[in-house]
Amino acid sequence: MAAVLRGSLCLVGRCRKHVDFACVFTRSMASKTQVGFVGLGNMGNPMAKNLLKHGYPVIATDVFPESCKEVQELGAQIVDNPAEVADKADRIITMLPSSPNVIDVYTGPNGILKKVKKGSLLIDSSTIDPSVSKEMAAAALKLGAVFMDAPVSGGVGAASSGKLTFMVGGVEEEFTAAKELLSCMGANVVYCGQVGTGQAAKICNNMLLAIGMIGTSETMNLGIRLGLDPKLLAKILNMSSGRCWSSDTYNPVPGVMEGVPSGNNYQGGFGTQLMAKDLGLAQNTATNTRTPVPLGSLAHQIYRMMCARGYANKDFSSVFQFLREEEGQ
């Protein structure tokens, strides 16, 4: 359907197959034409660089001009606002902190939709409420453009090395076109379903991750107090039904594993504040869909309490430290 809307780009005809083929053809041929990029923060910056590295001319903008310097030096063209990006590129990637920013960048007075061209492909990699993704998609569709949500898993490191995982929601016919670009920045690009399902998958994963991390921290703490050696306990859990990513890959107890934040005073990694934000999104979607999420909800509250008690910028595995008795008690 979306493809039909971009019929003006198609050379061959009206039948669905032709349209699609034509679009893909056009895009493939056009693959080194300009790509727009809005949002050059900690994540957006390395992502845009990877596009440049793959030979794509990049037209970029950010509300903070200084964020644009690095990519500008690498050859990107910097413009004043999202509308100008949309004026010059028909494939645009956005990477923004939260729902209000996305709403503003797309539908604001200088937003993408002010100058978006028919047939444009708009890919939003922000982690936001899936209902906002749906709104943006509907608004884009009215102007003949396609909006897809494609949030990422993986942090700044994965963004730099091009190893992100993208979870993509939107019309299936456009997935190939989206994947072409996203593959420059990520190792996995997974199609999740209709628009919003990329966000849904991301939110679901992070909710279960938070539950697993707090659960692992409680369990390790309890076991240690009951006289178990932490490394041995981790080994037992990992060969049993208690096994999870937080126990076998990112263990929160200092000394159990190497190369994880728990071994580095919980610095680096994925901040407690960011986890709290994602759990807030999970909570909102659960509330809106009237879905009971008792552990997810409590996990949200625990990360919220941690933020209130000074853990906002520590890695989210520091919940082990939060639950452990203070020294001197």
**Segment 255 to 314, residues that bind a copy of itself, using CB under 8 A:** 276, 280, 282-287, 289-302, 304-305, 307-310, 312
326 binds a copy of itself, rule: CB under 8 A: yes
171 binds a copy of itself, rule: CB under 8 A: no
Q: Which amino acid is at 290?
A: R
CB of residue 197 to a copy of itself, shortest distance in Å: 5
- For a copy of itself, the closer of residues 145 and 158 by Cβ is 158
222 and 314 Cβ atoms separated by less than 8 Å? no
Given 32, 69, 114, 202, the catalytic residue: 202
Q: Give me the 64-83 binding string for a copy of itself, x by CB under 8 A, dash otherwise.
A: --------------------
237 binds a copy of itself, rule: CB under 8 A: yes
- For a copy of itself, the closer of residues 176 and 194 by Cβ is 194
193 binds a copy of itself, rule: CB under 8 A: yes
245 binds a copy of itself, rule: CB under 8 A: yes
CB of residue 250 to a copy of itself, shortest distance in Å: 7
CB of residue 259 to a copy of itself, shortest distance in Å: 15
CB of residue 95 to a copy of itself, shortest distance in Å: 19
Say how many C-beta atoms besides its own lie within 10 A of residue 168's C-beta.
25
164 and 185 Cβ atoms separated by less than 8 Å? yes
**What are 123's strand-pairing partners?**
93, 148
Of 12, 30, 138, 239, the one binding a copy of itself by CB under 8 A: 239
93 binds a copy of itself, rule: CB under 8 A: no
CA-based nearest residue to 59, from 33, 89, 83, 32:
89
- Report the site for a copy of itself in 16-45 (rule: CB under 8 A): none
Burial class (CB in 10 A: 0-12, 13-18, 19+), 11: exposed
166 and 182 Cβ atoms separated by less than 8 Å? yes
d(CA 6, CA 94): 21
- For a copy of itself, the closer of residues 112 and 281 by Cβ is 281
184 binds a copy of itself, rule: CB under 8 A: no
d(CA 254, CA 145): 49
Known catalytic membership, residue 202 = yes
DSSP conformational letter for 123: E
98 binds a copy of itself, rule: CB under 8 A: no
Q: Which residue has the tokens 């990360």?
A: 303
197 binds a copy of itself, rule: CB under 8 A: yes
- Report the site for a copy of itself in 129-148 (rule: CB under 8 A): 130
Say how many C-beta atoms besides its own lie within 10 A of residue 289's C-beta.
11
Give the Å distances, CA to CA, from 258 to 115, 133, 189, 253, 262.
50, 38, 28, 10, 8
Q: What residues are annotated to the active site?
A: 202
